[in-house]
Amino acid sequence: MPFQNSSSRSRRHNLIVTGIMALLVILVVVVVLAAVLSPGREENTSSDVRQWSGNGTTKHLREIILGRCYNYITTVNPELKDKDCLNIWEELQHAFIYKHPCNMQEEDYQPLKNLASHSVPCSKSLFWSKTNDLVHRYTKANRDFFTLEDTLLGYIADRLTWCGSVTSPGIDYISCPEWKDCDSNPVTLFWKMASKMFAETACGTVQVMLNGSLEAGAFKNNSFFGGIEIFHLNPEKVSTMQIWLMNDVDGPQRDSCTGHSITTLTNILKSRKINATCENNYRPVQFLQCASYPDHSTCKFCS
């Protein structure tokens, strides 16, 4: 057999080196693709460092929103059966995904509002401030009244959190801004939009349930009710607001219908041509409170 010359050996060496380099390139590409396409990627942000004070976007947000929406239009309020839940979710997501969570505008939710808004029967709108648990126990027991959380938008979003991220995957699951971080965050702007809508659709006689056991007073100008909702009531549609001032059964009774904060509220309403009435410890709601404190002296209605 003749000996191979140096040129032939060099070519074979070069082919081997080239093959090894190609294999290395392929291996790197496979590793990168595996990392990008691995399960659960969509619920991670580009960084695991918390940027904001609040909790991150609620996990499985899409599934929760869709499930609540379908339940609402099927069993809670079948009159809204023609609402498009998938479209509602897509408009909610579109409002905040891939956006900086402190640079949102309330107008970002306008398409969602157009899709999900609906009327509330006259004289059935029930507003509230600092009575979250009690007011919703009442509306569950008395289906004649609607709080914001009993409307479609309020129902699907209650107690959920979401915010966007300018980096992939466009949603921050680690942390989201609260009011103290910035007041233009997605959740705050959502509830501002929903609160305005709820107030604007109210008609007839409306109700508000306030907490008379608060040290700072039952009515606060900077609450969603005090700062947004009462100023979006339409005096041409709303004639009267009934104030139900509820004190905690086992707590202090710091406010009353003749107190300073309620006087402030009634004056605001009257300046907007809306009549106001007030009742201390509205009896039907107090019965509900007493279900938890049956032996309390306040709950002994009969001698």
Active site residue 203: yes
The dihedral formed by the CA atoms of 294, 248, 269 and 261, expressed in degrees to the nearest 10: 150
> pLDDT: is 55 or 250 the higher one?
55
pLDDT above 90: residue 296: no
First to last CA, the chain: 122
pLDDT at position 253, please?
86
The one catalytic residue among 102, 122, 182, 299: 122
Looking at the DSSP bridge assignments, the partners of residue 238 are 204
Q: Is the pLDDT of residue 267 over 50?
A: yes
**Sign of the torsion angle spanned by Cα atoms 91, 93, 99, 100:** positive
| pLDDT mean across residues, the chain | 89
The residue extents of the domains of the chain are 52-295
Cα angle, residue 88 at apex, residues 84 and 89 outer, rounded to 5°: 120
More confident residue, 16 or 213: 213
- Exactly one of 69, 85, 163, 203 is catalytic; which is it? 203
Per-residue pLDDT for 42 more than 50?
no
Q: Is the pLDDT of residue 128 over 80?
A: yes
The structure tokens 């700062």 sit at 227
Tens-digit pLDDT profile for residues 2-18: 444 555 556 666 656 56
CATH classification code of 52-295: 1.20.82.10
Q: Is 122 a catalytic residue?
A: yes
Percentage of the chain modeled with pLDDT above 70: 83
Instruction: Give 136-195 pLDDT, tens digit per residue.
Output: 999 999 888 999 999 999 999 999 999 999 999 999 999 999 989 999 999 999 999 999
pTM of the model: 0.81
